[in-house]
Amino acid sequence: MNEVWWYLSRSSGVVATVLVVAAIVCGLYFTARATGSRRRPKWWLDLHNYLGGLAFLFTAVHVVAVYQDELSGIGLAQVAVPFTAAGARWGVTFGVVAAYVFALVVLTSWPRRRGSRRTWLLIHLLSIPAALLAAVHAWVVGSSRGERWFQALLVALVGVAVYPAVLRLFTLAADRRRRTAVEDTRPLVSAGGRG
């Protein structure tokens, strides 16, 4: 039975990471509105929400499977509390922190947003560094970390997650500069009427 938990923890971790990256990419495409003419932005948002929910589900399966695997040496404290793994198990801590961030992102998105949009957006953008933490977690404690396919997959996933985020940041900066230039060229209006 231990082999079943080991395989389940391994596969659910890989699937959760792929789904997280796919959700991030779809979310960034939705916010960029660069979705082309075939799909409306709402389609990207629905796909983003669906993939995010699935990623959260597979993350939960991964945590339960790791806990159930007696050979992993991971107890309830290590699964639930960061910085409790003994020895050189920083990778476990990175995984715990990433799981909490993903839970925060998903659970603040399901109900209608409460609070300011800026706060929600800042929480939501934490999914990008959490994806990087999940990659470090997989690299440090993953059982396949020495295999070429796994290394290539991790590098590709990090690139796929970071590339659209960087593009989006450059787009936002360009939009801000363009708005500032337009505002600077508007005629000034005095308080008493026309300027």
- The answer on pLDDT for 164 being more than 80 is no
Average pLDDT score over residue span 11-15: 90
CA angle 82, 150, 52 (to 5 degrees): 55
- The answer on pLDDT for 131 being more than 70 is yes
Write the pLDDT tens digit of every residue in 31-40: 765 545 556 6
pLDDT at residue 54 in the model = 95
Who wins on pLDDT, 79 or 50? Answer: 50
Question: Would you mind telling me the total number of residues written for the chain in this entry?
Answer: 195
pLDDT at residue 56 in the model = 93
pLDDT at residue 173 in the model = 72
pTM score = 0.75
Percentage above 90 pLDDT, the chain: 16
b/e map of 155-181 (b: 16 or more CB within 10 Å)? eebbeebeebbeebeebeeeeeeeeee
Neighbours of 65 (CB within 10 A): 20
Range scoring the smallest mean pLDDT among 58-62, 80-84, 175-179 = 175-179
pLDDT at residue 89 in the model = 72
Q: For residue 177, how far is the Cα from the chain centroid?
A: 28
**Domains of the chain and any CATH numbers:** 2-185 (1.20.120)
pLDDT at residue 113 in the model = 60
